[in-house]
Structure 1
Amino acid sequence: MLFFELLIILISTKLAGDLSVRLGQPSVLGKLLVGILIGPAVLGWIDNSHTIKELSEIGVLLLMFLAGLETDINELNKNRRSSFAVAIGGIILPMVGGYLAGKVLGISDTSALFIGLLLSATSVSITVQTLRDMGKLKTKESVTILGAAIVDDVLVVVLLAFLMSFVGAGDVSLGLVIGKKIAFFLIAILLGWKVVPWLMRWLVTLRVTQMVISTGLIICFGFAFLSEEMGVAGIIGAFIAGVAISQTPYKHEVEQKLEPIAYAVFVPVFFVSIGLSVSFTGLGDQIGLILGLTVLAVATKLVGSGLGARLTGFNLRSSFGIGTGMISRGEVALIIASLGLERGLLAQEFYTSTIIVVILTTLLTPPLLKKVF
């Protein structure tokens, strides 16, 4: 069954991506939409199985690893002030907007805060691919978006831990959560600075085939594992691994050999997996809620992050582009929603609607970026 699913995924994503480009949109939009078409929501050819989830997770890690390889660390450092401002603006407005929306829906303060926190999340994996398609991944705006995504991820997880600790949803130590994140970044910076160059030089001397790309993948998955163990999203670890290797002489060889591996199988599975979460069952009565939350999700992130960019020196068009790049909630928000349902912070009646909102923000990001850039 897996071979049939991979066959369908590869054929459909390539055809849908080509059609999307012919219609003047980034190829990633077609790949996202075809996931809904071939998934349980419409044709039912592909199930959201454990194997598909695992393959898609590898896909998003490789996508962010490639983004790290293409990132200029000097530009990332120069734009750190803007990245912090974009991240903070993109958390405050969605948090407030989500909380107010929750109160309008008549839910408790805790659940309303959780919805605000959910809308504050950002996942830039789709943004990365869209900008890559357009040849804009190395611009100042893109570097700022990537930096802001790292800050956003850390702050949202810390706020989630604080909320869970405050309401007693599980045995959560806020101090431990913050400490682990600080420790992760200190360890990651030290490893990237001192250990990664040495490890690359040593491992590539082994007399076996393809040791350069193998070493790159070892470092990528090692950093992803470390980041998840320390409570940070695996995609952040993969991105940092890519940045670390980009400072070595092996950057171009790793990038050239990784792209065929990533884009032949794993990345297409990741794009399709996002659409597999969609279900249209019982949504007739919640259309208004879904549309309202989607507009709120897009507007608050666009204005909040865009304002952060504007206040740190970007012109109006660039600020709008940066705000647009932060709209996609992607897999990060899906994980938070699942956790909220499990811990009783998100009611079952709102879970499906919330998932649809996350998917819609992800689908809207590529055409909006295309329009801006």
Structure 2
Amino acid sequence: MIYLLSDLDFSLPLSNPVVVFSLVLFIILFAPILFNKIKVPHIIGLILAGMIVGPYGLNLLLRDSSIVLFGTVGLLYIMFTAGLEIDLEEFRKNRITSLVFGLFTFLLPIGLGSVAVYYVLNFSWPTAILVASMFATHTLLAYPIASKYGINRIRSVTLTIGGTIITDILALLVLAAVIGTTRGDIDATFWVQLAISTLVFGAIIFFVFPLIARWFFKKFEDAVSQYIFVLAMVFLGAFLAELAGLEHIIGAFLAGLALNRFIPHSSALMNRIEFVGNAFFIPFFLISVGMLIDFSVLFKGLGALKVAAVMTVLGVLTKYLAALLTQKTFRLSPLERGMIYGLSTARVGATLAIVLVGYNIIIGETPTGEPIRLLNEDVLNGTIIMILITCTISSFVVERTAQQLALQEENVPRDEGDSNERILISLAYPDTVTELIDFGMMLKPRHSNVPVYALNIISDESDNGKTKTIAKKMMDKAVHHAAATEQTILPLTRFDVNVSNGIIYTLKEQNITDLIIGLHRSANQHNFLGATADSILRHTSETIFIYKSVQPFNTLKRLVVVVTIKAELEPGFAHWFSKLTTIAKEAGLPIDFFATPETIKELQDQQAAQKAEVKISCHAFSNWDDFLIFSREVKKDDLLVIVSSRKDHVSYQPSLEKLPYYLSNYFGSNSFIMLYPQQVERGIKMDDVQFVDGSLAETISDSVAQVSKAGRLWKRLFRKV
């Protein structure tokens, strides 16, 4: 043993790759635990750990190319996940707010900073402007904290992310302008080339990337392949940004924005992305930042100390003023201001890029032959101190504010109906388990405790031995797939006379509100829904979704919802509208409704009442004999949803009988959902219940045309029967 140990090199800094990697992993494991015990955010714990083991601490690790590589990956990962997790609809609504905040958080630091650096530190104007541009930039270092508390999609976080991109782009343009002016090689051609390359880069990111992603996710379902593809697209975006003359962090963020709708927040792929980033890449980046910090510079003279003090005070103050102005301009709450300030205070990525570029530019020589740099060592060391202090402030502020905002979100009154919701997914074929589970999870509101059940029926008509084996495999696959998304499926296996009876009695026993079943394999225009679905529709009143999946949900572009006449008079109208908007929000899809003017008005009222945060368009459609016009309207990547009705109910119409023919012959290449709204009572038919008022008896069907709200209709029904 002693002989073997003598062959190992334990000289400092450590060079054995096995030992180095092991040490880093133990730091990632234990540093957050130790620092959390003294109430220090884990982000600061990792930075301090990097400082301790780095070249300016115990010198255990050298900040070599491998540390720089993984650190760069971690920085890009933070920006990518910020773009990936952003709520696109919220981002669209707050785009003006983001723009204004971006201008505030750029103009205030660079304006006040330039003047202060010029007069207090006695730097030249080009140097002063370049130093001030470092005040203007910021890094979303504390974004993982907001994500951990589940508030990464709220307004203050979304507008800060948008403002980050704006201020970093402007700061990097200042860097290009100052360097070009210093070297004397900047002219109109430079700006024209930069503008053209930026436009080309933007076109590739927002038009070519989605085409590639949609093709890939349609063709490849392997989990490992999908993750590697996403990572490759992130680094391709970062590389293209550098080719365009921009910073790589901009490319990573925009790549996340372009892939946003292809990776639903509740998907297994999103869970893998977050897991790998939080477990490995992002901690590596934080450790690499800590290894840059050298506190000894504070004792080498007043120059670095003075620069560090000025930079830190201005950096913290100007970001607070920008957050305060944004709050006053848009009447935000103090907590929202705190979140904006916390997220925008930390400097790492773009700041380091600016100071290192400026430090490496030689603008002259001293009489003794020493180089004169655009940014001297005092600025370099002061920047490192500013990075540590601003990252510490950012982490503490975001940690405290995120806790309060998370509590505030939990205390927001929820729809009482959600507490009674239960979703049941009926599984019949092994090859459709994944699609049905994904769809079922999308029906469940985010952060909701709505239980989701997976059911398989073993009927007396089947070969029990073989069926049991298939049922077990399906249930195992369903539970495993749900677990990959950090969701829970409650598996149910039932023995019954036939499948429809098993499903019907399970609905009663478990108080199910929403049932999902797949379209049977041999569906055609003569036997479209099948005997099982027909029986379920006749004997149940719950909301039923009959789903046929042709392509993965994350490759769809929009929901096209065709609503039957008088659908607004059905008691389940508000419920199915809520479910469709939940699906659209989770998948990042717009909804195009086609309905009568009366139904459209009710849809718009529901959108306002439920505060549905999705993009909705409404189009008049009432002649169901012209249903084939949707063969032109519905594109290949659209999901067609038909809000139908059970027979003998208020929104039923004979034209619905033609749907099997249309769907079988004209929409075979489309994914679609047949949606049957919830009814009041099973077995109640419109012709069986009459009003008795002492004069002429009127049926409910005759009265429906005079009633505008479904609730009023059913209250009158129960009052008079």
How does the TM-score come out when normalised to structure 2? 0.49
Partner of 2:382: 353
Equivalent positions of 1:217-256 (< 5 A) are: 217-248=231-262, 252-256=267-271
Quickly say closer, same or farther: Cα 1:288–1:105, change in 2 above 3 A.
closer
Equivalent positions of 1:115-130 (< 5 A) are: 115-124=131-140, 126-130=141-145
Partner of 1:311: 329
8 Å contact from structure 2 (residues 338, 398) kept in 1: no
- CA drift at 1:109: 1.2
- CA drift at 1:247: 0.9
- CA drift at 1:266: 2.1
- CA drift at 1:147: 0.9
Give the aligned residue type for 1:259: E
User: Which piece of structure 1 moves more, 187-196 or 268-277?
Assistant: 187-196
Equivalent positions of 1:317-328 (< 5 A) are: 317-328=335-346
Give the aligned residue type for 1:290: A
- CA drift at 1:123: 1.4
- Corresponding residue to 2:116 among 86, 94, 101: 101
Quickly say closer, same or farther: Cα 1:60–1:312, change in 2 above 3 A.
same
Quickly say closer, same or farther: Cα 1:331–1:48, change in 2 above 3 A.
same
Partner of 1:291: 309
Q: Which has a greater percent of helix? A: 1
Give the aligned residue type for 2:376: A
Q: Structure 1 stretches of 5 or more lacking a match? A: none
User: CA deviation digits over 1:62-89, x for unaligned, max 9?
Assistant: 2332333322111111111111111111
- Corresponding residue to 1:332 among 350, 354, 367: 350
Partner of 2:401: 372
- From the CA coordinates, give the structure whose radius of gyration is larger: 2
Determine the C-alpha separation between the residues in 1 that align with 2:381 and 2:185.
23
Equivalent positions of 1:166-185 (< 5 A) are: 166-168=181-183, 173-185=190-202
8 Å contact from structure 1 (residues 84, 148) kept in 2: yes
User: Which piece of structure 1 moves more, 136-145 or 261-270?
Assistant: 261-270
Q: Would you say 1:111 and 2:127 are equivalent positions?
A: yes
- CA drift at 1:325: 1.2
Give the aligned residue type for 2:351: A
Counterpart secondary structure, 2:139: coil
8 Å contact from structure 2 (residues 33, 42) kept in 1: yes
After superposition, the CA RMSD in angstroms is 2.2
Determine the C-alpha separation between the residues in 2 that align with 1:282 and 1:25.
25
Give the aligned residue type for 2:356: S
Partner of 1:77: 92
Q: Would you say 1:152 and 2:167 are equivalent positions?
A: yes
Counterpart secondary structure, 2:86: coil
Equivalent positions of 1:39-50 (< 5 A) are: 39-50=54-65
- Corresponding residue to 1:131 among 146, 168, 173: 146
8 Å contact from structure 1 (residues 328, 358) kept in 2: yes
User: CA deviation digits over 1:10-48, x for unaligned, max 9?
Assistant: 212322212333333432121111111111222111111
Quickly say closer, same or farther: Cα 1:309–1:3, change in 2 above 3 A.
farther
8 Å contact from structure 2 (residues 297, 381) kept in 1: no
Matched-pair identity in %: 23
Determine the C-alpha separation between the residues in 2 that align with 1:170 and 1:339.
16
8 Å contact from structure 1 (residues 325, 365) kept in 2: yes
Determine the C-alpha separation between the residues in 2 that align with 1:274 and 1:46.
13
Determine the C-alpha separation between the residues in 1 that align with 2:322 and 2:264.
38
- CA drift at 1:250: 6.3
- CA drift at 1:144: 1.0
- CA drift at 1:59: 1.8
User: CA deviation digits over 1:172-198, x for unaligned, max 9?
Assistant: 723322332233223211134433222
Higher relative contact order (CA 8 A, sep 6+): 1
Give the aligned residue type for 1:366: S
- CA drift at 1:209: 6.8
- CA drift at 1:322: 0.6
Counterpart secondary structure, 1:194: helix
Aligned residues: 369
- Corresponding residue to 2:203 among 181, 186, 198: 186
How does the TM-score come out when normalised to structure 1? 0.91
Quickly say closer, same or farther: Cα 1:294–1:221, change in 2 above 3 A.
same
8 Å contact from structure 1 (residues 82, 309) kept in 2: no
User: Which piece of structure 1 moves more, 270-279 or 65-74?
Assistant: 65-74
8 Å contact from structure 1 (residues 162, 174) kept in 2: no
- CA drift at 1:249: 5.9
- CA drift at 1:314: 1.9
Q: Structure 2 stretches of 5 or more lacking a match? A: 1-15, 362-372, 403-721
Partner of 2:275: 260
- CA drift at 1:331: 1.8
User: Which piece of structure 1 moves more, 58-67 or 361-370?
Assistant: 58-67
- CA drift at 1:367: 0.5
Determine the C-alpha separation between the residues in 2 that align with 1:99 and 1:160.
13
Quickly say closer, same or farther: Cα 1:250–1:50, change in 2 above 3 A.
same
